[in-house]
Structure 1
Amino acid sequence: MRVLLSGYYGKGNGGDEALLATLLQMLPEHVTPVVLSGNPQETQHRYHVEVGDRMAPLSVIQALRSSDAFIWGGGSLIQDITSSISPFYYGSLMALAQKMKLKTVAWAQGIGPLKRSLTRSLARNTYSNCTKVSVRDRASAALLSDWQIPFILAPDPVWALESKPVPGLWDLPAPRVAVTLRSHPQLTQMRLANLTRALVDFQKATQTFILLLPFQKSEDLSIAETIQPQLADVSKIMCLEDPQLLKGVYRGVEMAIGMRLHSLIMAASEGCRCFALSYDPKVNRLMEDLDMPGWDLASLPDDANLIGKTWIEHYANGNPLSPEKIQFLIDRALIHREVLSQALA
């Protein structure tokens, strides 16, 4: 069975690459995946799969015609906060696949926010015509319930992604703390300056080694490069493209401070203490589900001293998830694999 996979792949985003890696890991053995990518060569090289150019209409239509099924491959594809065009791109592909009578799966979705009535209508129509739908959070489940669309709810599949050991990680000074910040309108210059001052104070108090871990170079690297000179001898910028290596970093880290959803999921799944800086409702949902400490960026304290002291307190006295809780979440995340087995039988 040939199955076409569509998501925000090949764009250098560690979270979306982690979803793709997990999806490929969970596909039934009889499936031949074909991945629509923004960087087909890189995707083919990394995952050893057939690829198509996600922005080449002829290539996409040919891929659909030669496939038996179509999968939205996880994450916040259908939302109109960061892009009003994105949901129409993904929605059009799903609608076309349904018109061509392919089996269609909306897999591990984080739906919304949906502010526009047109986007909501598109979402409702496409989800209602799917063969199977799985979602990763309660807010998405509530939306589908309101629309009377059947679904399966399970934690984000990246909980179950297999990690790889990172060459050279254990040669770096310990203990280590990983920090992932991304560019966003709410991360103003003043807030970044306060976070940087707090991080310097935190490092001095804890004598930790700071790993600055960009998840998407285009969004994160410049911020890491702004912070790193303030921590010149006690930090390192670590750029990793392979999502299994990204997750592997957290095997050797005591605590993670993160904006990105999947930086926090990867860290929590490897037994790190986590502190969230939320820029998006999906991060707030994770904080609520795991009782994870953190702040919305919009309400970040103005006092760098207070931020630093809060981090020091969490480093000293905060608790990671228990091994039992981690295993429970991994086992639950594997429900997304069952969804694929049922839909693609």
Structure 2
Amino acid sequence: MVRAICCGYYGEGNGGDEALLASLLQMLPDAVEAIALSGNPSQTQTQYGVKTCDRRNAFQVLKVLRAADWFIWGGGSLIQDVTSAISPLYYTGLMGLAQQMGLRTIAWSQGIGPLQRPITRAIAKRAFAGCNLVTVRDSGSAALLTDWQIPFTLAPDPVWALDPKPVPGLWDLPAPRVAVTWRSHPLLTPKRLEILTRALVSFQQATDTYILLVPFQLSQDLVIAELIHKAIPYHSQILKLTDPQMLRGLFQGVKCYINATA
């Protein structure tokens, strides 16, 4: 039995990252035993039936590293220093440690950057260069790895391969439906949010669409969704979906998806 550590922003209530974990677990062969590093180990274990480890507990993480064969960066924009300078240091530090301990290391479905600091660019380059396999999900990440002369595969976002679940009541809502996710972000200032909201109101009026506001991380994004809903009270609804498969199923019932952070 091969033991693989799945490392990502799991167990933090972010729908996109939870969908990535669900996709990864769905794709792993039966011969692989997964251990997910999670911010909420008990919840992750209950939700996915996978072994877990507290990603903030250094002793636990070191223990599972010593017993593992593979280390998988499990997707998403983990290596960026816009929202946090600590995040890329944490993830590249774990990757570097796994490489030093002799684990096979995989950077899976990565969205790399932005990397604004020279030190984070340098450590990211070193970490990716030491991987046995690298896959990226966008052309910007591909261009960066090409510049670094690091081999990679450009592949679609694996979330689209996740088995969907129907969203109760979705097909009873007015059509056409448009899903909107606006993430909390330093660049999404109150002024920009006001401008984007006015634009969305004009879009809804011009197209007569029904707006589904989908906060991917309730603790950060729900406030934004509530502000938008107040501007379109009769032609919008907030959907608080925490099941990754339902998030995937949502896109089977909408005509368009609008995602913005700035």
Same fold judged by TM-score > 0.5?
yes
CA-to-aligned-CA distance 1:198-224 (integer Å, 9 cap, x gap):
333443443332211111112210011
Query: Secondary structure of the residue that 2:82 maps to in structure 1?
Result: coil
Cα distance in 2 for partners of 1:38, 1:44 equals 11
Cα distance in 2 for partners of 1:213, 1:244 equals 14
Query: Secondary structure of the residue that 2:84 maps to in structure 1?
Result: coil
Q: Which residue of 1 aligns with 2:239?
A: 238
Q: Which residue of 1 aligns with 2:139?
A: 138
Q: Which residue of 1 aligns with 2:52?
A: 51
Counterparts of 1:1-345 in structure 2, within 5 Å, are: 1-259=2-260, 279=261, 297=262
Cα distance in 1 for partners of 2:59, 2:220 equals 30
Shift in Å, 1:85: 0.9
Cα distance in 2 for partners of 1:149, 1:185 equals 30
Going from structure 1 to structure 2, the CA distance change for 1:154 and 1:201 (only over 3 Å counts) comes to: closer
Amino acid in the other structure paired with 1:25: Q
- Tell me the TM-score normalised to structure 1 length: 0.71
Give the unaligned 5+ runs of structure 2.
none
Shift in Å, 1:68: 1.2
Any conservation in 1 of the 2:160–2:248 contact (CA below 8 Å)?
no
Cα distance in 2 for partners of 1:135, 1:227 equals 32
Amino acid in the other structure paired with 1:31: V
Amino acid in the other structure paired with 1:224: A
Query: Secondary structure of the residue that 2:143 maps to in structure 1?
Result: helix
Shift in Å, 1:71: 0.7
Deviation larger for 226-235 or 51-60? 226-235
Q: Identity over aligned residues, as a percent?
A: 61
Give the unaligned 5+ runs of structure 1.
260-278, 280-296, 298-345
Query: Secondary structure of the residue that 2:227 maps to in structure 1?
Result: helix
Cα distance in 2 for partners of 1:214, 1:153 equals 28
Cα distance in 2 for partners of 1:232, 1:124 equals 47
Cα distance in 1 for partners of 2:121, 2:202 equals 45
Shift in Å, 1:141: 2.3
Any conservation in 1 of the 2:83–2:185 contact (CA below 8 Å)?
no
Going from structure 1 to structure 2, the CA distance change for 1:138 and 1:228 (only over 3 Å counts) comes to: closer
Query: Secondary structure of the residue that 1:252 maps to in structure 2?
Result: coil
Q: Which residue of 2 aligns with 1:326?
A: none
Cα distance in 2 for partners of 1:80, 1:217 equals 22
Going from structure 1 to structure 2, the CA distance change for 1:125 and 1:168 (only over 3 Å counts) comes to: same
Query: Secondary structure of the residue that 2:35 maps to in structure 1?
Result: strand
Shift in Å, 1:95: 1.3
Cα distance in 1 for partners of 2:4, 2:116 equals 31
Cα distance in 2 for partners of 1:23, 1:42 equals 17
Cα distance in 2 for partners of 1:209, 1:202 equals 10
Alpha-carbon RMSD across the aligned residues, in angstroms, is 1.8
Going from structure 1 to structure 2, the CA distance change for 1:105 and 1:230 (only over 3 Å counts) comes to: same
- Tell me the TM-score normalised to structure 2 length: 0.92
Cα distance in 1 for partners of 2:89, 2:192 equals 34
Shift in Å, 1:5: 0.6
Going from structure 1 to structure 2, the CA distance change for 1:96 and 1:173 (only over 3 Å counts) comes to: same
Any conservation in 1 of the 2:83–2:186 contact (CA below 8 Å)?
no
Going from structure 1 to structure 2, the CA distance change for 1:202 and 1:121 (only over 3 Å counts) comes to: closer
Cα distance in 2 for partners of 1:235, 1:31 equals 43
CA-to-aligned-CA distance 1:265-303 (integer Å, 9 cap, x gap):
xxxxxxxxxxxxxx4xxxxxxxxxxxxxxxxx4xxxxxx
Any conservation in 1 of the 2:201–2:232 contact (CA below 8 Å)?
yes
Cα distance in 1 for partners of 2:19, 2:212 equals 20
Amino acid in the other structure paired with 1:36: L
Deviation larger for 65-74 or 193-202? 193-202
Shift in Å, 1:69: 1.0
Amino acid in the other structure paired with 1:133: V
Cα distance in 2 for partners of 1:148, 1:194 equals 40
Amino acid in the other structure paired with 1:125: R
Q: Which has a greater percent of strand?
A: 2
Query: Secondary structure of the residue that 1:8 maps to in structure 2?
Result: strand
Cα distance in 1 for partners of 2:52, 2:222 equals 27
